[in-house]
Homo-oligomer: A and B are copies of this chain.
């Protein structure tokens, strides 16, 4: 058999491709799916099955696109009003060469979540790998709050049953292939591991160490952040995403051209580093570094207004548009030719914001009382502690909390390092704040410098 693990960076989404005897299956394809066709070609195989572990909410499914390009049928779970593909059920079996894939219904993350169990009959009928989608991850399990607040207890019960009765019982030696790795918004504690096994998770996954009651209580009490774009993804993935071939490629646009596009409502995303952004940027632009797009674009960007990117030096940002495509932003335009230098060479207006080191911040705090905004998530704040007197507002929810942040007083924004801090600075600047500073190194630097931390 052959096996490929395909990681979509940033999203930390993992799809898998397995093949045998000239046939191949793809589990949870991403939307930009040329990679699957290339792998099929390289392995002299035809894609014959597309499996979806569940209706995703954090990215646009590539199943419909891949079905269009390969002709292969899509299989997903029951109890969901999918407008495309085929429904499959517990106990169904699929044959790909010597491989046998059998289906488990494992609700919990969503109602129709499936888990696919792979055996390679050339060796044995024993389970070899399990594609667990968004149920069991390495070091964590998937969130169970998406069905709504009143369904939390019920979904937690389902997840508990799915994992303990169906997945863990497959055997300790089974290789675990989940749909997300470390860094995903679908599980905050996912380990940074290339692979795991049922046995390793039994021994090390802290969530599995909780008894049934604690598991349910905690899950019911939790309210993970919910990016607004999730609802859009759920809708799109139920109804069937638009095909990428219908959209034009992003292209370079000149500074002159972009000024008129800004006037008519386009959104500028600045993908440079936090320092580069601070020392000069287009007024009204949003600061999100390239790898941050998958996690943060969906909190801030409007699906109806075109998107234009800007980088340092020059050119070719085409690869970054994969991120937008995966999030369903199909209304993109391109990037500014020549990058930010082209902008300032053309004497266009430049806005500056501040940066400071933790030492400077400490000094300042000994003299005056700046407004200190902590944009990290709750968990990080709890685990690591925080700078005294800082006000917590999670970066994703910053726009809703604007009224609570004083406008005519210097604001210092910090996160764990400086990237989300820069995003926060850009959001505030967009809302008219004029004295905003990003604390370089954020909490990491503060701790390293040995300054006082509160909990």
Contact = CB atoms under 8 A, between A and B. Distances in A.
Interface of A: 1-3, 22, 37, 40-46, 69-71, 120, 122-124, 126, 128, 139, 171-175, 191-195, 197-204, 245, 248-249, 251-254, 272-280, 289, 312-316, 318, 337-338, 340-341, 344-347, 349-350, 352, 355-359, 417-419, 440-442, 444-446, 448-449
A191 B441 contact: no
Given A22-B254, A41-B316, A123-B204, A448 B199 contact: no
Contact of A191 (B123, B192, B273, B446): B123
A38 to B, nearest CB: 8
A347 B314 CA distance: 31
A125 B308 CA distance: 36
A280 B355 contact: yes
28 contacts: A41-B251, A41-B252, A41-B315, A41-B316, A42-B316, A43-B315, A45-B337, A69-B248, A69-B249, A123-B139, A126-B203, A128-B193, A172-B197, A173-B198, A173-B200, A173-B201, A273-B276, A274-B341, A275-B276, A275-B312, A277-B279, A280-B440, A341-B418, A341-B441, A347-B357, A347-B441, A349-B357, A352-B356
A313 B273 contact: yes
A45 B347 contact: no
Contact of A272 (B245, B275, B344, B448): B275
A124 B203 CA distance: 9
Contacts of A202: 173
Contacts of A3: 193-194
Given A273-B312, A280-B357, 19 more contacts: A2-B194, A22-B254, A42-B316, A120-B191, A128-B200, A173-B199, A173-B200, A173-B201, A173-B202, A174-B197, A175-B195, A199-B199, A272-B312, A273-B313, A276-B279, A279-B355, A341-B418, A346-B445, A349-B357
